[in-house]
């Protein structure tokens, strides 16, 4: 049992706002400013450089990684923090290609993947210059395309536009049956759906912590390497903090033990402090409970919006087992409608060409929020409140 009324009080939510964009950037945990203030004044301020040892800054990436591991069904000691998700995608993919069957040249992904993952794959292929090909199929066609010519799959479990959820167990099992190495992007999974990386024998996984995990803008990413591979992988980004003995300052790289070798450079100590405050709230729950509650909230929103707004077309799978923790509707004036909604205190976002996207996070969203958001959306749609010049100009960040 999780007391969701209590977890809701742990976040700062501006008055009058219903926040349905935690799938892009989670809200501020109320304890985070005091914690960051403490880390800055008591640790950075007083300990200066001795903070690396006395305050445990150097061990923080693995310590925080273990807290994330619990939420993604990973083994202790298999997750480490640092860098951005795009960097972690590159690292995981490079190491996966290194483990893959040598004469296979295809990286398989799908058109529901976030563009940065595809861009990073393109960049890696260019720099390796070994004839790799990025094959991008539709999400529905991924399974059929896992065949004996594939080296690595690079799949984001939850589609950022539609919320469609891949079956990680089934796809991983099929990949292994064909000798394919798997890289899973958990950006829209961590804190949103229940995954069991260890149980499904995933090879590599990566994810960010600023969405459902509420670590704050620019919060560091994480990387998972299955313990059976961790001492074999050869990091492409061989930075000094992934070295076996960083402070020996040897001239040549020797990989550190296990997951430590996936570290690159200096840990973002202040950002990790904010993330730790966010993870304190996660200590009060577990992913099975979150998943069940998230499915109720998304189902309620779909039912409410379909009844009130027949002009919106559901883009998210209706079966709760086939979606993540977001609901998307298609509407040709979706950008303007989202701006009108935001002006009325309901914050979601828009993804081109026509997707209105809403994220549901049981830690601070309840049934009343869902119903009220649907009522306001109905007002926007019934009264064409989106048809206003202020809502037509696209902002730089949407
Ligand atoms: C699936 C996925 N991959 C990669 C990224 C890029 O992450 P970052 O900006 O942290 O590198 C995002 C979101 O921005 C994402 O949703
Ligand atoms: N990472 C973001 C950012 O730095 C600014 C604005 C939005 C984002 C996002 O997270 C985009 C996100 N991956 C998405 O699902 O659309």
Q: Residue 302 has what pLDDT?
A: 98
Closest by CA position to 152, among listed 124, 129, 116, 114: 124
Q: Residue 164 has what pLDDT?
A: 98
Alpha carbon of 25 to ligand 2 centroid (Å): 7
Q: Residue 396 has what pLDDT?
A: 81
Residue 115 annotated in ligand binding? yes
Alpha carbon of 206 to ligand 1 centroid (Å): 10
Q: Which of 25, 219, 338 to mutate to test the pocket of ligand 2 (most atoms within 8 A of CB)?
A: 25
Task: Tell me which ligand sits closest to the C-alpha of residue 156.
Answer: 1
Q: Residue 393 has what pLDDT?
A: 87
Cβ of 114 below 6 Å from ligand 2: yes
Q: Does residue 197 sit in helix, strand or coil?
A: coil
Alpha carbon distance 394, 97 (integer Å): 39
Architecture of the domain spanning 33-282: 3-Layer(aba) Sandwich (3.40)
Q: Residue 195 has what pLDDT?
A: 97
Which residue puts its alpha carbon closest to atom 6 of ligand 2? 397
Determine the topology of domain 4-30+286-391 in CATH: 3.90.1150
Question: Could you give the strand order of the β-sheet that contains 181-185, starting from the edge strand earlier in sequence?
Answer: 79-81, 222-225, 204-207, 181-185, 150-156, 106-110, 133-137
Structure token digits, residue 41: 């004044």
Say what the ipTM of the complex is: 0.97
Closest atom of ligand 2 to 397 CA is 6
Cβ of 187 below 6 Å from ligand 1: yes
Residue 116 annotated in ligand binding? yes
Residue 85 annotated in ligand binding? yes
Q: Rounded to two decimals, what is the model's pTM?
A: 0.98
Alpha carbon of 177 to ligand 2 centroid (Å): 34
Q: Residue 176 has what pLDDT?
A: 98
| Residues involved in catalysis | 114, 185, 210-211, 357
Per-position pLDDT tens, the chain of length 398 = 899 999 999 999 999 999 999 999 999 999 999 999 999 999 999 999 999 999 999 999 999 999 999 999 999 999 999 999 999 999 999 999 999 999 999 999 999 999 999 999 999 999 999 999 999 999 999 999 999 999 999 999 999 999 999 999 999 999 999 999 999 999 999 999 999 999 999 999 999 999 999 999 999 999 999 999 999 999 999 999 999 999 999 999 999 999 999 999 999 999 999 999 999 999 999 999 999 999 999 999 999 999 999 999 999 999 999 999 999 999 999 999 999 999 999 999 999 999 999 999 999 999 999 999 999 999 999 999 999 999 988 888 87
DSSP string, 244-276: SSGGG--SS--B-SGGGGG--S---HHHHHHHH
Alpha carbon of 24 to ligand 2 centroid (Å): 5
Q: Residue 186 has what pLDDT?
A: 98
Cβ of 24 below 6 Å from ligand 2: yes
Q: Residue 397 has what pLDDT?
A: 82
Q: Residue ranges per domain, the chain?
A: 4-30+286-391, 33-282
Q: Residue 309 has what pLDDT?
A: 98
Residue 398 annotated in ligand binding? no
| C-alpha dihedral sign at 187, 191, 194, 195 | positive
Cβ of 339 below 6 Å from ligand 2: no
Q: Residue 1 has what pLDDT?
A: 86
Cβ of 397 below 6 Å from ligand 2: yes
Cross-strand partners of 204: 183, 225
Alpha carbon of 99 to ligand 1 centroid (Å): 24
């Amino acid at each position: 049992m999780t007391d969701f009324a209590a977890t809701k009080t742990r976040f700062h939510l501006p008055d009058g706002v219903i926040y349905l964009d935690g799938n892009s950037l989670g809200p501020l945990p109320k304890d985070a400013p005091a914690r960051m203030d403490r880390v800055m004044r008591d640790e950075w301020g007083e300990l200066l450089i001795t903070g690396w040892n006395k305050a445990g800054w150097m061990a923080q990436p693995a310590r925080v990684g273990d807290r994330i591991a619990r939420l993604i069904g990973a083994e202790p000691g298999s997750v480490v923090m640092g860098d951005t998700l795009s960097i972690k995608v590159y690292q995981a993919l490079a190491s996966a290609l290194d483990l893959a069957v040598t004469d296979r040249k295809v990286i398989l992904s799908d058109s529901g993947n976030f563009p940065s993952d595809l861009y990073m794959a393109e960049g890696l292929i260019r720099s390796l210059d070994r004839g790799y090909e990025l094959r991008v199929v539709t999400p529905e066609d991924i399974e059929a395309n896992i065949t004996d010519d594939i080296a690595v799959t690079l799949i984001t479990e939850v589609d950022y536009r539609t919320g469609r959820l891949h079956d990680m167990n089934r796809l991983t099992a099929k990949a292994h049956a064909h000798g394919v190495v798997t890289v899973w992007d958990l950006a829209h999974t961590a804190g949103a759906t229940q995954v069991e990386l260890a149980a499904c024998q995933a090879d590599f996984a990566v994810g960010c912590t600023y969405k459902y995990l509420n670590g704050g803008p620019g919060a560091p990413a994480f990387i998972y390497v299955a313990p059976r591979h961790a001492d074999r992988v050869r990091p492409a980004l061989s930075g000094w903090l992934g070295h076996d003995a960083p402070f020996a300052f040897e001239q040549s790289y020797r990989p550190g033990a296990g997951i430590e070798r996936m570290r690159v450079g200096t840990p973002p100590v202040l950002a990790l402090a904010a993330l730790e405050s966010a993870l304190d709230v996660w200590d009060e729950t577990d992913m099975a409970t979150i998943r069940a509650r998230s499915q109720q909230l998304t189902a309620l929103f779909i039912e409410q919006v379909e009844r009130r707004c027949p002009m919106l077309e559901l883009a998210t799978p209706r079966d709760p087992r086939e979606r993540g923790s977001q609901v998307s509707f298609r509407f040709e004036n979706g950008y303007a409608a989202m701006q009108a909604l935001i002006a009325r205190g309901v914050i979601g976002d828009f993804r081109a060409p026509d997707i209105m996207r809403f994220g549901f996070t049981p830690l601070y969203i309840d049934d009343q929020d869902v119903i009220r958001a649907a009522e306001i959306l109905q007002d926007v749609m019934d009264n064409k409140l989106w048809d206003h010049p202020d809502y037509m100009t696209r902002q730089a960040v949407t």
